Amino acid sequence: MVLMEVAYDEDKFAELLLHVASRLRGDRAGGATKLNKVLFFVEFTHLRRHHRVVSGCQFQKLPHGPAPHQLLPVRRRLIDAGEAELIEEDFLGRPQHRLVPKREADLSSFAVEEMRTIEDVLAELAGMTGTQVSELSHQEPGWRLTEVGETIPFSTAFLDFPQAATPTSERLSESVAERYGFAAAG
């Protein structure tokens, strides 16, 4: 059993949201879809690496990938406080909603390894479109094992998603093993 720390810290999530949105400003594909997926990969990557989440925001399965449950109220709070704005831009003929911070994120509560995870995820997803990042998120076990609208359990961060064995795949595996001398003697 894996022990993990998953407490939610709304203030830290707000600062994470501002920081990631700020870092995506120069990314033409850095709208709401990509922002949601970066936040997802930050939390789940950090959990895999350190058995702790960064902010503890929970994610729900939506048709285009995971999205933070807490995003809308926290985003509204930031906008109402004048700390961010939501703008709509044209991206290849489609509307793109982008959160634009109006202040720097306060990163004083983030540990060095949390900042490293955030920067690693941003670097790994750089150059990818929102659609590509969504498709990548759909490969995650948590995405595959939940229904639309359900919360993706943090525990799924530790699951591998093995290929299902079918009678055909087992037969083919046995045939290849025999051919190359790996079959168990009967």
Distance CA 81, CA 15 (A): 13
Q: What is the pLDDT of residue 29?
A: 81
Distance CA 10, CA 13 (A): 5
Whose structure tokens read 């959160």? 99
pLDDT digits 0-9 by tens, 146-159: 999 999 999 999 88
Helix (H, G, I), strand (E, B) or coil at 67: strand
Question: Residue 60 above 70 pLDDT?
Answer: yes
pLDDT score at 4:
73
| Whole-number Å distance between alpha carbons of 109 and 30 | 25
Tokens standing for 49? 């690496």
Say how far apart CA 14 and CA 20 lie, in whole Å.
10
Pick from 185, 49, 29, 184: which is nearest to 114 by CA? 49
> According to the model, what pLDDT value does residue 174 have?
74
CB 57 within 8 Å of CB 43: yes
Residue-wise pLDDT for 91-130, tens only, equals 777 777 899 999 999 999 999 999 999 999 999 999 898 8
| 166 pLDDT above the threshold of 50 | yes
For residue 107, give the nearest of 7, 22, 6, 5 by alpha carbon.
22
Banded model confidence at residue 186, pLDDT cuts 50, 70, 90: very low
